[in-house]
Amino acid sequence: MAFIFPEERSRIEYKSQVPDNFEETVIAFLNYSEGGEIYIGIDDKTKTVRGVKELDLVQRQITDRIKNNIQPQTLGLFDIVVEKIDGTEVIKVVVSSGIEKPYYLRRKGMSPEGCFIRVGSSKQHMTKEQIVAAFAKRVPNSLSSMRSPRQNLTFKQLEIYYSEQKLALNDEFLASLDLINEDGKFNYAAYLLADENGVSIKVAKYSGTTKVDLIENEEYGYRCLITAANRVLDKLKAENRTFTKVTPTKRLERKMVDELALKEAVINAIVHTDYSREVPPVVEIFSDRLTITSYGGLPSGLSRENFFKCRSMPRNRELMRIFHDVDLVEQLGSGMSRIMEAYDQSIFTFEDHFLIVTFPFAEGFTLPYGNVNGNVSGNVNGNVNEDETEDAILNCVRENPKYTLGKISEKTGISKRTVSRQMKALQEAGIIKRVGSPKTGYWEVL
Q: What is the mean pLDDT of residues 25-54?
A: 91
Same domain, 200 and 271: yes
pLDDT confidence bin for 381, thresholds 50/70/90 = very low
Contact 93, 80 (CB under 8 A): yes
Same domain, 308 and 202: yes
Look over the chain and give the mean of its residue pLDDT values, rounded to a whole number: 85
List, in sequence order, every beta strand (DSSP E) within 260-379: 282-285, 289-295, 348-350, 354-360
Strand 442-445 to 432-435 pairing: antiparallel
pLDDT score, position 238: 87
Instruction: Give the DSSP letter string of 55-99.
Output: HHHHHHHHHHHHHHHEES--TTSEEEEEEEETTEEEEEEEEPPPS
Q: How many domains does the chain have?
A: 3
pLDDT confidence bin for 6, thresholds 50/70/90 = low
In this predicted model, what pLDDT tens digit does every residue of 259-287 receive, in sequence order?
Answer: 999 999 999 999 999 998 888 999 999 98
- Domain housing 439: 385-445
Same domain, 160 and 222: yes
Q: How far apart are CA 311 and CA 303, in angstroms?
A: 9
In a domain, residue 376? The reply is yes
Q: How many CB atoms are located within 10 Å of the residue 424 CB? A: 10
Q: Tell me the residue length of the chain.
A: 446
In a domain, residue 122? The reply is yes
In a domain, residue 7? The reply is no
Is the model's pLDDT at 372 over the cut of 80? no
Same domain, 305 and 211: yes
Same domain, 228 and 350: yes
Q: How many CB atoms are located within 10 Å of the residue 98 CB? A: 28
Is the model's pLDDT at 26 over the cut of 50? yes
In a domain, residue 417? The reply is yes
Same domain, 24 and 116: yes
Residue type, 64: D
In a domain, residue 356? The reply is yes
Residue type, 31: N
Q: What is the mean pLDDT of residues 53-76?
A: 92
Question: CB-based burial of residue 282 (10 Å sphere; 0-12 exposed, 13-18 middle, 19+ buried)?
Answer: middle
Q: pTM of the full predicted structure?
A: 0.71
Residue type, 55: L
Q: Which of 62, 58, 6, 56 is nearest to 36 (CA)?
A: 6
Same domain, 187 and 223: yes
pLDDT score, position 287: 87
CATH of the domain at 275: 3.30.565.60
Is the model's pLDDT at 157 over the cut of 90? yes
Is the model's pLDDT at 357 over the cut of 50? yes
Is the model's pLDDT at 387 over the cut of 60? no
Same domain, 300 and 398: no
List, in sequence order, every beta strand (DSSP E) within 231-281: 242-246, 251-255
